[in-house]
């Protein structure tokens, strides 16, 4: 058992950074929690118990090494020469499923998985633990889709664009990359605690009257991908103070949108107070 646990830790902490990193995902969740309706908040608490949205916001990254098919659920590979998302081109069918067949309902990219887990969160006949897992995925994937490099197909989402990030060529155990800069490098360079950063974002939301806008993951993918062009660097490029000053407002804006949109989705899905679980009737 100790060997299995050690192997799990190795998989979890030796994997390259994922979208937004833990602080970014927690910021998205904190914003969402502050914009939930009372009824939606009751439902979240009924499903998660003592955990908050912030507590579960990185669960999908922790679980990812143990269930490898979920890896493709965190991103969508839009080509460099495309200006929008195309499901047939950009969202792979599931393993063993024939494209266009009766089983080709949900595919393996973040856009489809957000829609899929919305249906599961909203299903009152689904076992509460399964709905809780769906909620954890939904919290994470809405955050993922608002990280621009998670919509960029070339260079493995920017992982293949090595960078010098604030003077460093190594970020932890891996070479610094454009992807890792957007995951965590730019956010960490702010030097703020999560609570202080959340206060900054909430003040900006209230000052600018930021609203969630589009309730459509397809549109979110196109919007996020539109930020890639200005963010790109050549291999070996510098993520420096000038880059930070230019791109941190974009990071903040996308974190705010992700949090507000997550709240809007949960407010839409949870319109009734939580009820006692009643399984769906069995079909004959």
What are the structural domains of the chain?
18-90+104-269 (1.10.575.10)
Is pLDDT of 6 > 50? Answer: no
Is pLDDT of 16 > 50? Answer: no
Nearest by Cα to 221 from 31, 121, 93, 87: 87
Residue 107 has a pLDDT of 97
The Cα–Cα gap between 152 and 158 comes to 7
Residue 283 has a pLDDT of 62
Averaged over 58-63, what is the pLDDT? 92
Averaged over 89-108, what is the pLDDT? 96
Is pLDDT of 280 > 80? Answer: no
Residue 11 has a pLDDT of 36
Averaged over 162-176, what is the pLDDT? 96
CB-count exposure of residue 237 (10 Å: 0-12, 13-18, 19+): middle
Residue 64 has a pLDDT of 79
Is pLDDT of 65 > 80? Answer: no
Is the dihedral angle over the CA atoms 42, 47, 52, 54 positive or is it negative? negative
Averaged over 74-102, what is the pLDDT? 95
Higher confidence at residue 221 or residue 20? 221
Averaged over 219-235, what is the pLDDT? 97
Is pLDDT of 14 > 90? Answer: no
Averaged over 98-115, what is the pLDDT? 97
Residue 228 has a pLDDT of 97
Averaged over 198-216, what is the pLDDT? 94
Is pLDDT of 239 > 60? Answer: yes
Residue 179 has a pLDDT of 97
Contact 69, 208 (CB under 8 A): no
Is pLDDT of 25 > 70? Answer: yes
Poorest-pLDDT segment among 64-68, 165-169, 243-247? 64-68
The Cα–Cα gap between 76 and 87 comes to 9
Residue 277 has a pLDDT of 64
Residue 18 has a pLDDT of 57
The Cα–Cα gap between 64 and 241 comes to 33
């Amino acid at each position: 058992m100790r060997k299995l646990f050690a192997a799990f830790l190795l998989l979890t902490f030796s994997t390259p950074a994922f979208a937004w990193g833990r602080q970014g995902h927690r910021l998205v969740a904190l914003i969402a929690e502050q914009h939930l309706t009372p009824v939606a908040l009751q439902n979240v608490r009924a499903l998660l118990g003592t955990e908050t949205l912030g507590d579960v916001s990185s669960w999908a990254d922790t679980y990812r090494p143990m269930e490898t098919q979920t890896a493709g659920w965190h991103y969508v590979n839009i080509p460099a020469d495309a200006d929008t998302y195309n499901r047939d081109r950009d969202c792979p069918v599931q393993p063993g499923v024939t494209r266009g067949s009766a089983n080709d309902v949900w595919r393996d990219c973040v856009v489809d998985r957000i829609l899929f887990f919305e249906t599961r969160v909203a299903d009152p006949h689904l076992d509460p633990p399964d709905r809780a897992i769906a909620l954890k995925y939904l919290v994470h994937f809405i955050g993922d889709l608002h990280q621009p490099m998670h919509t960029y197909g070339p260079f493995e989402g920017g992982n293949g664009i090595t960078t010098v990030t604030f003077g460093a060529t190594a970020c932890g155990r891996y070479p610094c990359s454009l992807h890792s800069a957007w995951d965590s490098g730019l956010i960490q360079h702010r030097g703020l605690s999560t609570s202080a950063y959340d206060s900054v974002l909430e003040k900006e939301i209230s000052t600018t009257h930021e609203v969630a806008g589009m309730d459509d993951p397809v549109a979110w993918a196109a919007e996020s991908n539109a930020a890639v062009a200005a963010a790109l660097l050549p291999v070996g490029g510098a993520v420096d103070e000038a880059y930070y000053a230019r791109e941190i407002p974009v990071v903040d804006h996308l974190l705010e949108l992700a949090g507000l949109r997550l709240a809007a989705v949960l407010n839409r899905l949870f319109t009734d107070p939580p009820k006692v679980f009643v399984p769906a009737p069995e079909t004959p």
